[in-house]
């Protein structure tokens, strides 16, 4: 059937509609070409071979793809659409690849953070475990030293000789430290090289004869006075009282540091110092101001005072020292004691102040046990600062008070009245107050504020949960209630 074209070139109504709608594949005579293309297309059954068209292209159509409007522009659209989909897929794959390259360093950084947190937690746990062991070791070594001295006094009373003998054992401090260095260090050094490295505590030039006499002499005298007065106090008082009074050295260190070193003033430490002084007075009053009791308290307070002066002067002239420098310094004190203070026991022996019948009669077992435990205490105090928190060392020292009390009760050498017990508790509380850090008030305020924030968050969560529950119940009843808050 022949179709006559209109004067404007439009053959049929369909051409007019396509021209009006702006179909992009339209051109004059489009409908006539469409009819001829329809006649040229052969419909095939599913699975049958279709004959080729006039363009030489064979197509196999599925039942869903057989439509009446299978013209060239539609095929062009389908091809474009498929290419667009493929392009989107490629772009998505590329983007996903880029995202993978971007997220890979993020994942590695998160893994590194997790590993760092695990390492920090492990180090904290190890420090806590070491701290617990060192607390027990420090307190037990100090309790053992005090109790061995009390036992030795039953048959042998020569406090200065005992002090001199135990101080000589400090010479072994540096060899013990060097043995630990050989066992643990990866890069091992010779003894002389390590000794010179640790001697920098005396200055850049190391240990000279002038510095040996100038720096070691006052500290050696204070060390000897501290231990000698402590042993004198143990003759007059019980081990519990002496160990409790010796804990006052923390208060004296604060007072001297405040006056001499111009350290920061802290009201809580002033309160702790007042408590320590109150405990001292109550300890003297516990025996109704008996002569031996007053003398014993004076010896114990003198020992605590010289110990505090030793620590303050050490901080003033030598500053802070690491473990190796501390071992070097304590061993140097032992050498000074052996060389320059050995004449004092000899003088006391010939003046019959401290006399014994023969060297074979000396209780060498008790003397070596006391000196060994004293050396162990000094080593543990310095090792503990390296392995754990310094505050735990002080806690180990104050725990020697209940340790000595338990031993005295078992030996039935002490009767705790109310005044003595109250004095011991007050001194221990003052000692613990001295351990508070300088920023303790700020830390306490932050902790209180964090607790308040947690409570407010929990309160808000409770309100939201109750509101959600109210809404769910109202919806179940068919009504909706809007809370005012």
Residue 102 has pLDDT above 90, yes or no: no
More confident residue, 393 or 67: 393
Residue 325 has pLDDT above 60, yes or no: yes
First to last CA, the chain: 81
For 262-298, what is each residue's pLDDT tens digit? 877 777 878 888 888 888 888 877 776 677 788 999 9
- Taking the whole predicted model, whether its pTM rises above 0.85 is answered as no
**Out of 151-165, 199-213, 454-468, which region has the weakest mean confidence (pLDDT)?**
454-468
In this prediction, residue 93 has a pLDDT band, given cuts at 50, 70 and 90, of very low
Looking at residue 61, its pLDDT comes to 33
Q: Residue for token digits 């529950």? A: 469
For the segment 10-25, the average pLDDT, to the nearest whole number, is 58
Residue 408 burial by CB count (10 A; 0-12/13-18/19+): exposed, middle or buried?
buried
Express as a percent the part of the chain with pLDDT over 70: 71
Tokens of 441: 């008030």
For the segment 95-118, the average pLDDT, to the nearest whole number, is 63
Residue 156 has pLDDT above 70, yes or no: yes
Whole-angstrom distance, CA of residue 60 vs CA of residue 192? 96
Looking at residue 242, its pLDDT comes to 92
Counted residue by residue, the chain has a size of: 485
Give me the chain's average pLDDT, please.
Answer: 75
Looking at residue 430, its pLDDT comes to 86
Across 221-225, 243-247, 252-256, 425-429, which has the greatest mean pLDDT? 221-225
What proportions of the chain, in percent to the nearest 5, are helix, strand and coil? 75, 0, 25
Looking at residue 106, its pLDDT comes to 62
CB count, 10 Å around CB of 277? 17
Across 163-167, 313-317, 481-485, which has the greatest mean pLDDT? 163-167
Residue 6 has pLDDT above 70, yes or no: no
For 463-472, what is each residue's pLDDT tens digit? 766 665 555 5
Q: Residue for token digits 């007059």? A: 236
Looking at residue 73, its pLDDT comes to 34
For 32-60, what is each residue's pLDDT tens digit? 454 444 444 444 444 444 444 333 333 33
For the segment 433-453, the average pLDDT, to the nearest whole number, is 77
For the segment 420-428, the average pLDDT, to the nearest whole number, is 86
9 backbone φψ class: left, alpha, beta (φ>0; ψ -120 to 50): left
Express as a percent the part of the chain with pLDDT over 90: 24
Looking at residue 393, its pLDDT comes to 81
Looking at residue 131, its pLDDT comes to 79
Tokens of 197: 């490295």
More confident residue, 415 or 146: 146
For the segment 96-115, the average pLDDT, to the nearest whole number, is 62
CA distances from 233 to 121, 209, 225, 227, 272 (A): 44, 35, 12, 10, 23
Looking at residue 373, its pLDDT comes to 94
Q: Residue for token digits 């006056």? A: 259
Residue 63 has pLDDT above 60, yes or no: no
More confident residue, 461 or 4: 461
For 348-401, what is each residue's pLDDT tens digit? 999 989 988 888 889 999 999 999 999 999 898 888 777 777 777 888 888 888
Tokens of 235: 């003759």
In this prediction, residue 459 has a pLDDT band, given cuts at 50, 70 and 90, of low
**Out of 99-103, 190-194, 407-411, which region has the weakest mean confidence (pLDDT)?**
99-103
Per DSSP, the residues of 402-413 read HHHHHHHHHHT-
For the segment 320-330, the average pLDDT, to the nearest whole number, is 87
Looking at residue 265, its pLDDT comes to 77
Phi, psi of 355 (to 5 degrees): -125, 145
For 228-272, what is each residue's pLDDT tens digit? 999 999 999 889 889 989 988 888 888 888 888 887 777 787 888
């Amino acid at each position: 059937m022949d179709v006559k074209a209109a004067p404007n070139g439009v053959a049929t109504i369909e051409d007019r509609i396509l021209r009006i709608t702006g179909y992009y594949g339209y051109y004059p005579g489009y409908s006539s070409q469409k009819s001829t293309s329809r006649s040229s297309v052969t419909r095939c059954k599913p699975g049958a071979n279709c004959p080729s068209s006039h363009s030489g292209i064979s197509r196999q159509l599925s039942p869903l793809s057989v439509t009446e409007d299978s013209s060239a522009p539609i095929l062009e659209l389908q091809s474009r659409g498929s290419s667009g989909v493929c392009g989107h897929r490629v772009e998505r794959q590329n983007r996903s690849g880029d995202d993978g390259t971007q997220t890979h360093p993020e994942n590695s950084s998160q893994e590194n953070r997790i590993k760092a947190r695990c390492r920090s937690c492990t180090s904290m746990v190890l420090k806590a475990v070491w701290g617990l062991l060192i607390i027990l070791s420090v307190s037990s070594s100090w309790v053992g030293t005090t109790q061995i001295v009390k036992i030795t006094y039953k048959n042998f009373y020569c406090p200065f000789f005992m002090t001199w003998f135990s101080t000589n054992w400090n010479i072994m401090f540096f060899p013990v430290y060097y043995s630990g260095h050989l066992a643990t260090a990866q890069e091992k050094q010779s003894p002389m090289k390590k000794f010179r490295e640790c001697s920098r505590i005396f200055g850049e030039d190391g240990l000279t004869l002038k510095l040996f006499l100038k720096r070691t002499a006052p500290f050696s005298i204070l060390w000897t006075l501290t231990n000698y007065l402590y042993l004198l106090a143990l003759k007059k008082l019980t081990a519990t009282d002496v160990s409790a009074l010796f804990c006052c050295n923390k208060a004296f260190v604060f007072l001297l540091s405040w006056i001499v070193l111009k350290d920061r003033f802290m009201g809580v430490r002033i309160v702790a110092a007042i408590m320590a002084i109150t405990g001292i007075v109550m300890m003297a009053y516990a025996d109704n101001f008996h002569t031996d009791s007053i003398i014993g308290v004076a010896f114990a307070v003198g020992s605590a005072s010289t110990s505090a002066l030793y620590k303050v002067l050490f901080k003033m002239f030598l500053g802070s020292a690491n473990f190796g420098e501390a071992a070097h310094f304590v061993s140097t004190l032992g050498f000074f004691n052996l060389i320059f203070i050995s004449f004092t026991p000899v003088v006391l022996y010939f003046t019959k102040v401290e006399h014994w019948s023969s060297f074979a009669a000396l209780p060498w077992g008790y003397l070596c046990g006391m000196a060994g435990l004293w050396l162990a205490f000094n080593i543990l105090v310095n090792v503990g600062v390296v392995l754990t928190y310094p505050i735990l060392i002080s806690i180990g020292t104050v725990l020697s008070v209940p340790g000595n009390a338990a031993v005295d009760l078992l030996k039935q050498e002490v009767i705790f009245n109310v005044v003595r017990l109250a004095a011991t508790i007050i001194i221990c509380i003052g000692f613990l107050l001295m351990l508070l850090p300088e920023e303790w008030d700020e830390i306490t305020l932050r902790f209180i504020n964090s607790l308040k924030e947690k409570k407010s968050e929990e309160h808000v969560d409770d309100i939201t949960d109750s509101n959600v529950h109210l809404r769910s119940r109202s919806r179940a009843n068919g009504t909706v209630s809007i809370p005012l808050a």
